[in-house]
Amino acid sequence: MTDLPTHTEKKLGLVIDLDTCVGCHACVIACKGWNTENYGAPLADKDAYGAEPVGSFLNRIHSYEVQPDQGPAQLIHFPKSCLHCEDAPCVTVCPTGASYKRVEDGIVLVNESDCIGCGLCAWACPYGAREMDPVEKVMKKCTLCVDRIYNENLPEIDREPACVRTCPAGARHFGDFADPKSNVSQLVAERGGIELMPEQETKPVNRYLPPRPKDDDVDILAPLLTPVAEEPTGFLGWLDKALERI
């Protein structure tokens, strides 16, 4: 079995804003693209256009309709990936040492050359954040784009996980939770970042920012339903008259 480090120099991880995420799946596609072309074996797809397609993804989006105690129902998009837990059970159950947690930054990784595909780590993970690659037959998981965040050949603005870099809504944030002045630490302090399933006692590093309450009295669609003019003018006016003659 594999031992966990007693401490890590950094605690790199993600803050995901559930109020901002629109469920566009841009992070899923960016993650799949980057991790298929770079670190480790490709993220394979098997029978992608057949009757039973199977593929491995390091990041997925689940959507839920929730009913708050007050106000209308809300659609919440919930991104899910490895949480890089401090007490990661996926590491301690690994019989070959393929799963490990780095001392320098706290990132949990898999050494694919040592992975035998036994699946113990997937069973131990309470978040369902590991996937068996259908072709490579080794376990896959989020790496926080470790080959990207330290890559000095990239512009500094691109040295963050692909999912964070590509998010059009700015719902994903990356930083060091060990630094109280970091962007992620401040976001958690200001918005009350949620630890996912704390009863599991895995101490996940990643945090989720809860959705803000909605205002029942505001009709978002009303301004859009007001006509901009009583009679169409310009090209639309000509088109309207032309259609009337048909």
The model carries a pTM of 0.82
For 162, the 3-state DSSP assignment is helix
Kindly tell me if the per-residue pLDDT of 218 is higher than 60: no
For position 85, what pLDDT does the model report? 97
Name the band, by pLDDT with cuts 50, 70 and 90, for residue 3: confident
Q: Which segment of 1-5, 163-167, 215-219, 226-230 scores lowest on mean pLDDT?
A: 215-219
**% of residues, the chain, pLDDT over 70:** 91
What CATH number was assigned to the domain covering residues 12-217? 3.30.70.20
The model's pLDDT over 176-189, given as tens digits with 9 standing for 90+, comes to 999 999 999 999 99
Separation of alpha carbons 119 and 139, rounded Å? 7
Separation of alpha carbons 107 and 136, rounded Å? 22
Separation of alpha carbons 212 and 64, rounded Å? 16
Structure token pair of residue 70? 């007050």
Separation of alpha carbons 137 and 116, rounded Å? 8
Separation of alpha carbons 101 and 27, rounded Å? 24
CA 124 → CA 77, 103, 120, 121, 128, distances in Å? 25, 21, 6, 5, 9
Name the band, by pLDDT with cuts 50, 70 and 90, for residue 240: confident
Per-domain residue ranges for the chain?
A: 12-217
Chain length of the chain: 246
